[in-house]
Structure 1
């Protein structure tokens, strides 16, 4: 601050009065003038003493402010780049400032500028502290040093109480540090990317450095970090980086074992590597390659055993081996082709056997068995023409046998005209069969005899009480009689007797086929009233 006398009007007036007073004592004056001067001297002396006391009081007040009030203000805003001035040094330097040289308005402006500088300094110090917590020198050394240089310039202005320039310098430094804080999300992304590249290139120390810094940045909880989508978790990356050297060593050893076809040992080392770092691509690929080699070796052994069984005439067992090889999940086409070839060979053999069995059954006229053999052949290959034709013929012959047997087992039904006609048609169909075998001819001969006999009437004697109305169902009404004789064709008959007041009677009997009764009695003898009692 300037100490020019032009800025000190009070001091200037006191000195001028004293000089005037000294000049007057050295000049020749008259007694009257001397008396005037002598009477004015006490007044001047009183003014000088008053001004001196006022000056001393002002100095005392300034000293109190400097000693007790100013340290408490400055203590809150410690300068970042220079040690705080000792209070005794402040006391020594302040007396050089004239006590009454600054007006209250100027003092208020200076105080306002000082507060503004201190506010900017506080913001600057807060940003600096946050940046130092995340090792700013590691990722933005030059930019940070530039902001520190701007802050140091502010300190220089502050020391000479040029608070306006100090405020500007602190503001620039604080803004530079704020901009560094704003770049932290990008820095975090960059560090993760660099760490991932270092892992891919097996540079463990670089990976540890990048992921450690990324983890530090992520844990700092700066704004905007939570919403970031990182390529890799910094914590996971750091874990992988710490075990990288051991993992690489295991992978190298496993590769050597794989090349020397020591597959089991190679699998063990690859799995140990993945236990340390389950995300390692080289370990994953290596393990898959070794496991595939093991399966290929096992596949070859199983297929060889299958072909050996096939050569030994054990196709079913061979197929089981081929299927087992296919379940390994490799070379599936080869296993499926072997199975298909073996199944075709088996099918061809089975078809030949079934055809022979079907033809043998047909020679014996066992048509149901013949049909079953052809069905089995068609289940193997539905396009076999011989089996299609054979099944059709065998099915028809089996149906003819079924009808012939039914007619022979129920000859009594031939008494009915419709049944007789149907049976005669079946008989004619049988006779039309070419190359009929002995079994068919035998059944046809028996049926022929049965048909002939079924048309020859046989005398049957009926006996009643001459009070009962007798009817032969679907044949004839006999009326009431005591005894009559009727000629009936062989078959099954039903005679019904009715009499008023008596219970109806029903007599079933068969004519012919050695079952003709000697006498058929049809009479109603049981009164209805007697039943009710």
Structure 2
């Protein structure tokens, strides 16, 4: 195996890890069968840490996550119907709302909410107000929006409901922005995105009403901004006759081996050589992955 051949080295690493991956997948399947969800998740995640493309581990992780959501969904639905039986319509509505967010495609929560409405007969403003306050405390802002909208259907003149609806919509949009930034951490290396994220972070920091969920998102975004601002050393290998350029970085010229410092993100290296077909290599830079040498060599004659 040529040490500089990234594909061969990756295949060798997968083969070396195969026994451990198989053991972890088997372990995960046993945990899954026993409905030990957290243990199963851990086993499949450990297997994927060793081999990120091992399909049985990927399938197992998706399956167990779906099972976890279904268990939580069933628990919330049970809580909702038990609350209806006990006459606690406030708790029932909150349970069905959470179930609705867990599996939006299911019609069961809507059926449960209909039973709540039928049980209440007339929507009680005080009950809905307490519900909105409880959901605000838990930072379930999408559900808060729905609750205030229901209040305004009962009485469009309620000033506290109008103010609450505006506040809830703003918070829902804020959480959505944070989620998008956190889910796509490599984009934070783009200067404009980093600037927007930093401004957003400063705004959250000076807020007087930062709850646990917002605090967690704020801290995670802060960590990811530090990650995005920290360059990593990337080894490049060529043949001293190929002219190498990295898009958004610049021309590197001819070399046998070179190291460049790049911030986390996805890059494209292009090689050109007179009389040879250009080559294009896309690669990702991230502290969570072990960087293999990026080989850029024009080898196919025209």
After TM superposition, list the pairs within 5 Å mapping 1:73-88 onto structure 2: none
Conserved? CA contact 2:279–2:296, under 8 Å = yes
Q: Secondary structure at the match of 1:404?
A: helix
1:498 corresponds, among 256, 266, 272, to: 272
Q: Is 1:409 aligned to residue 156 of structure 2?
A: no
Partner of 1:352: 126
Conserved? CA contact 1:510–1:516, under 8 Å = no
Q: Secondary structure at the match of 1:486?
A: strand
1:454 corresponds, among 192, 216, 228, to: 228
Could you say which structure has the greater relative contact order, defined with CA pairs below 8 angstroms and 6 or more residues apart?
A: 2
User: Partners of 1:433 and 1:510 in 2: how far apart?
Assistant: 35
After TM superposition, list the pairs within 5 Å mapping 1:36-435 onto structure 2: 349-435=123-209
Q: Structure 1 or 2: larger strand share?
A: 2
* 1:487-524 per-position Cα deviation (integer Å, ceiling 9, x unaligned): 11222222111223322222222222413522111111
User: Partners of 1:471 and 1:389 in 2: how far apart?
Assistant: 54
Conserved? CA contact 1:415–1:492, under 8 Å = no
User: Partners of 1:395 and 1:460 in 2: how far apart?
Assistant: 43
Q: TM-score, normalised by structure 1?
A: 0.33
Quote how far apart the aligned CAs of 1:350 are: 2.8
User: Partners of 1:429 and 1:494 in 2: how far apart?
Assistant: 34
User: Partners of 1:363 and 1:515 in 2: how far apart?
Assistant: 38
User: Partners of 2:301 and 2:197 in 1: how far apart?
Assistant: 44
User: Partners of 2:244 and 2:189 in 1: how far apart?
Assistant: 20
User: Partners of 1:504 and 1:350 in 2: how far apart?
Assistant: 70
RMSD value over aligned CA atoms?
Answer: 1.7
- Structure with max Cα Rg: 1
Q: Is 1:467 aligned to residue 249 of structure 2?
A: no
User: Partners of 1:504 and 1:383 in 2: how far apart?
Assistant: 68
After TM superposition, list the pairs within 5 Å mapping 1:509-528 onto structure 2: 509-528=283-302
Conserved? CA contact 1:400–1:430, under 8 Å = no
Which consecutive residues of structure 1, in runs of 5 or more, have no partner in the other structure? Answer: 1-344, 529-533
Q: Is 1:508 aligned to residue 296 of structure 2?
A: no
Q: TM-score, normalised by structure 2?
A: 0.57
* 1:145-177 per-position Cα deviation (integer Å, ceiling 9, x unaligned): xxxxxxxxxxxxxxxxxxxxxxxxxxxxxxxxx
Partner of 2:28: none
User: Partners of 1:500 and 1:351 in 2: how far apart?
Assistant: 77
* 1:311-342 per-position Cα deviation (integer Å, ceiling 9, x unaligned): xxxxxxxxxxxxxxxxxxxxxxxxxxxxxxxx
Q: Structure 1 or 2: larger helix share?
A: 1
